[in-house]
Amino acid sequence: MGALKGLLDVVVGLLTAVLGTVLAIVAGVVVLVGAVLCVTILLIPLGLPVIRLGRRLFTLARKLMHVP
């Protein structure tokens, strides 16, 4: 029973690490879109919240990957 629990922990750990990596890639794209919006002077009010959303996604991705 202990070996099965250990195997399950490994699988869940790998799954969350992969999910965190995918989320980090998505966050990078969101930050890039926000930066492009901020380059256009008229769209700065839209670009700043998008960049803030990207930061939150990076934080969540970091938590998923168990980085201290």
C-beta atoms surrounding 54 within 10 Å: 20
Note the pLDDT tens digit of each residue in 4-60: 888 998 898 899 999 999 999 999 999 999 999 999 888 999 999 999 999 999 999
User: pLDDT at position 56, please?
Assistant: 97
User: pLDDT at position 46, please?
Assistant: 93
Residue whose structure tokens are 């926000």: 34
**Banded pLDDT at 67 (limits 50, 70, 90):** low
* Residue 22 · residue 42 · CB < 8 Å: no
User: pLDDT at position 41, please?
Assistant: 87
Domain ranges of the chain: 2-64
